[in-house]
A = this chain, B = another copy of it.
């Protein structure tokens, strides 16, 4: 989506590579060679290495000391792990966001939800879905928590795009509505528990 020129070369390289990994353009297990990447971006390998470190911190690549980095793979177990972490942290964020929730915010979330309904491919749907979650969680005002959730959502998107799920099915959107209803009627705990369960459904459908 927004490639955004985040000043430094290494972050630009990092973001571009992240997109490719998430979308599946670079497949799991493949090696990323710094010279090749550097040449492609018309840069030297120093910023490339830093980009690799960024990707490593997001869990998108794994780095072995003198053997370079390769795109992280993911097993059924890892998918479940990410889903459980998301469930736990998003529920926490939502409970903390609740006191700061306004009608305006809920309306924005509703609109994001509708955008999801209109989505014609999985990429558009994922963007709308992520927006929905971001909108209702951001008011918690906990930057570290939001960053952690964002990284986990990125990982989830990888699984989604990897084709493990051919359909991105309607039930999820129904969950969204249930969450909004709970928030509108002041039931914070209910909203949080629906959200927690909802997030875990992403990890449900198994691969292979």
Answer yes or no: A144 CB below 8 A from chain B CBs.
yes
Cα-based distance from A59 to B106 in the complex (angstroms): 31
Q: Are A144 and B82 in contact, CB atoms less than 8 angstroms apart?
A: yes
Contacts of A171 in B (CB 8 A): none
Majority DSSP secondary structure for residues of A touching B: helix
Contacts of A148 in B (CB 8 A): 85, 148
Binary per-residue interface labels of chain A (8-32) against chain B in the complex, 1 for a CB within 8 Å, 0 otherwise = 1000000000000000000000000
Answer yes or no: A65 CB below 8 A from chain B CBs.
yes
Q: Are A89 and B85 in contact, CB atoms less than 8 angstroms apart?
A: yes
Q: Are A92 and B96 in contact, CB atoms less than 8 angstroms apart?
A: no
Q: Are A84 and B96 in contact, CB atoms less than 8 angstroms apart?
A: yes
| A-side interface residues, number (CB < 8 Å) | 29
Cα-based distance from A141 to B81 in the complex (angstroms): 10
Which of B57, B65, B82 is close to A57, meaning CB atoms less than 8 Å apart?
Answer: B57
Q: Are B54 and A85 in contact, CB atoms less than 8 angstroms apart?
A: no
Please report which residues of chain A, range 59-94, place their CB below 8 angstroms from some CB of chain B when the two chains form the complex: 59, 65-66, 77-78, 81-82, 84-85, 88-89, 91-92
Contacts of A78 in B (CB 8 A): 144
Where the two chains meet, the residues of A that have a C-beta atom closer than 8 Å to any C-beta of B are: 7-8, 46, 49-50, 53-54, 56-57, 59, 65-66, 77-78, 81-82, 84-85, 88-89, 91-92, 96, 141-145, 148
